[in-house]
Structure 1
Amino acid sequence: MEELDEIDRRILAILQNDATLTNQELAGRVHVSAPTCLRRVRRLVEAGVIEKQVAIVSPEKVGAGLTGIVEVTLDVQAAERLADFEAAMAGERAVTQCYRVSTGPDFVLVVQVPDMAAYHELVHRAFTAQRNVRNVRTFFSVHRSKFDTRVAL
């Protein structure tokens, strides 16, 4: 895909704040015609710039109010073992984010669970049952002062 121009950036900025807008409403805010806006949004989706459009749900209001930030260190960091761990985490519903990181642990995860009992079940299933996991360290959120899904444009 070619470089994003100012119209693309305006479309992305607006959609990051409210993806429920109709194409007509979005076009009006971006100051382009509705067909132009639709064509550009489709192009951004096809190019993978827009990965998906979702509803952001409040974890506390659906019974998943315990947030853990988990550091995981593996015994063996061979590419295949790292990929195996990532695949296992992709299958864990409680794991909402998984990052392979440098310097320190091998992975940092964000998990959402209902309570400590559910966290302990996750730890047993996802970490201690895996032979390649050497160390797990979890920090529990006591207050979320900022949460944003927007990417700076």
Structure 2
Amino acid sequence: MKSIELDAIDLQLLDSLQHDASLSNVALAEMVNVSPPTCLRRVKRLIDDGWIERQVAVLNADQLGAALGHGLTVLVEVSLDKQGSEHLDAFEARAVALDAVQQCWRVSPGPDFMLVLQARDMPGYLAISQTLFTQDANVRNVKAFFATKRAKFTSTWPLRPAL
């Protein structure tokens, strides 16, 4: 992956796509005032150079939870006894391998990791916690917070000028 400088058109393309990746190439080209072939070429370059990791559909968590019973979002602080890179890497590998782990962050200071988990219910969370936390002798402390309301969720980066 080569590093490129982003110009104003690249930033407009990234901003538009992160808000709606389903835009047609023609619509996207119109939004940023370039020709469709230029737009297509630039988007391809942004993908090839790694600026765009992937394009996904963001599902409605409330509707999905009601339909499938995935009703428990848990934010978890995890502290390890030993913080050597091999210990951090081992826990991280175990965490990211679980489908229930939506996000895994190494953080500092404080706990070593912050996780965002999705569980069907409390017994589901218990099963996840036993697999991820209690079977690892290096896990020193786990502090779980159970979400009661999601006030905001976004996957966008602020690329537009601040208001």
User: Are the aligned partners of 1:24 and 1:34 in contact in 2 as well (CA < 8 Å)?
Assistant: yes
Partner of 2:23: 21
Superposition pairs of residues 78-89 of structure 1, within 5 angstroms:
78-89=84-95
Identical aligned residues as a percent: 50
Deviation at 1:113, TM superposition (A): 1.1
Aligned mate of 1:48, from 44, 47, 50: 50
Superposition pairs of residues 20-99 of structure 1, within 5 angstroms:
20-62=22-64, 63-99=69-105
Question: Gaps spanning 5+ residues in structure 1: where?
Answer: none
- Normalised TM-score (structure 2): 0.90
What per-residue deviation string (whole Å, max 9, x for no partner) do you get for residues 85-128 of structure 1? Answer: 11111110000000000011000001111111110000001111
Deviation at 1:59, TM superposition (A): 2.6
Counterparts of 2:115 and 2:47, CA distance in 1: 27
What per-residue deviation string (whole Å, max 9, x for no partner) do you get for residues 1-54 of structure 1? Answer: 222110001101111110011111111111111111111111111111111110
Counterparts of 1:26 and 1:35, CA distance in 2: 11
User: Are the aligned partners of 1:98 and 1:109 in contact in 2 as well (CA < 8 Å)?
Assistant: yes
Partner of 2:115: 109
Give the secondary structure class of the aligned counterpart of 2:29: helix
Give the secondary structure class of the aligned counterpart of 2:12: helix
- Normalised TM-score (structure 1): 0.96
Counterparts of 2:61 and 2:135, CA distance in 1: 27
* Corresponding pairs, count: 153
Give the secondary structure class of the aligned counterpart of 1:98: strand
Q: One-letter code of the match for 1:2?
A: I
